[in-house]
Structure 1
């Protein structure tokens, strides 16, 4: 195919197909350019549920899309984020499905690492080696908590957001706040002491620790060893909710559950109270499990395909199909959200129809209900009455008593 692409003259009756052209360009780029180091700023970073990293690297005048497969990024010692200057090693590849080139990253490291970041990485490595991050040690969260302890600042936006979400989702919840400083000297010691006090108290189902976003220095108390060991020693489940979604702290790795934000923590620890929403959520989970099985089946097919005889670049083909699956997964999630919204509209419509059929609404349109005074029975025909019978008239608002003068069939 590459030889055909390189021909200076090509008969018009032998045109290339789009697939042939793309494959030829892919071969020229991937075979013609050796692996190299590249530096730039990360933007549009996305950590997909498949584990892959998708992002762009840019400088003042240009940018290039990048991908780092889950097998490559699993051992990174830092979390990439938008705006971070990095140095990466890899090669140029072509994503044939969309016909564009991208940089496949094999290695990544920060372009410049400060003292706090180095301290963070060293403590993270040491605690990981000691087993503080082990999944076997993590405790499950109760499905229906009744009392929740919160360790945070009493004046920050985080506590207001958490209380608002908890009250909206699970109104019966009891919230116990242990106020602490969340930045500055002595903050780490206060957080650790608060966790010890909640464990001694023992009358809560779980504890949320956290704060809103800030700089690495602002979030540093949650990177202190004393806080990490207090979380590890806690008999109560601990949820870490520090900063924004892109922020990671040592407490996130030690805690039984990491939430991207304080508001997200509140969403994750209590269920939704409304029965209709629980039903829709159950349907959504069933759809998700079905999708997961489909994706697993496709991945197994891709694995068999990648290991088949005659494949020139089996790993490359697997990556191409995996990226396509990620796109389909995203589109299906959007479709499921649309179905969920339609169900809500249908339920609201049925509710309004039931209201329109209420007997109270019929009375408001000028109709009345007639009852016999002596027996209290409902009168549906004039033949049920005799002159001088006492009757009671029921209106939409109030009632009246009357005497029958005469009747007509």
Structure 2
């Protein structure tokens, strides 16, 4: 007893003042059962098994003389799913289903009744083989670094082979799979597994073997705890990966095998490279190559740019000569205008003097003097123009030797920035800049709307 008082404890007096209701009685009986009995284990045979959609399991546990109802709720149900006629050990607590007054056992776990003997046999064989050195890590073979063919020893209709094939198809479908179909539970399972291991070694057709099956009870997995199977795995010249049951399941085969995988899917993952990793590696190599090429191109571009700065482009020389010619033309025009202005001023002055004295002879002399002066001035101007033109033609001949004008005549052009420098790279212009394109005949002004690489 826990020391707790049941509800309506006053009804347990020697002379109850009034009768109990059925609800009160069932409630008190339930309280007594749950507080008097702790966790208990009951062995019996399953009958009247029911598995409703809720996920709970209900059955009757019986022996030759009595029976008790059992409720195994979904939250406690484990990997082992009982079936009608199984001999099991049910652990749990006693209770009462009050609406019907049914006395029942609330199960916390259900396990096959024969697992205790199997567990003892498992531990005995494990100790024996361990003493013989079959579990010695130094005797285990390493897995091949490159696997092209995998032999799978399992049931051809079980979930394990489907899981393995699904993983291999996803990760690396180029790996060939040889299936050695065997029984994986029952009396014939161990001999078939041993025969398949021997056959695979005789043919030497696989790089590695997977020996295993899906999950189950200790009894279901027992063929992989047989001594004959353990010795067949140990004698295999082909590396063996055991993949028996779920991650928490351990068999003798797991200890003897060269590598243990927690599940068949994990075995396939272990033995197959990930094709996505291969693709990522190739992408990385491609990136490294592109970076190396970019670095080389950048270095070469810096060398070219350095040489370009040292070498003056003929177009730059032509531009400078054109500027000089423009300056000379402007100076000549100013000189002519200045000379004409001075001559005009002198003419006005003489005309004023003439008008004030009006001597015809003096006027004639002055006109002649004016004509001579005018002719001398024109001759001087022509001489200056002739000398300047000859110098210009000489400069033009020199420039033509290095000028791209001949190239311009063939349809090419030179593009200049607003600063009148030749544009050779996108970095010299921005969207919205006005640029000048010099053709063989004439010039074109453009506005940059878009920059395109390549």
Instruction: Tell whether the structures are fold-level matches, with TM greater than 0.5.
Output: no
Larger Rg: 2
Structure with more relative contact order (C-alpha pairs < 8 Å, separation 6 or more): 1
TM-score by length of 2: 0.38
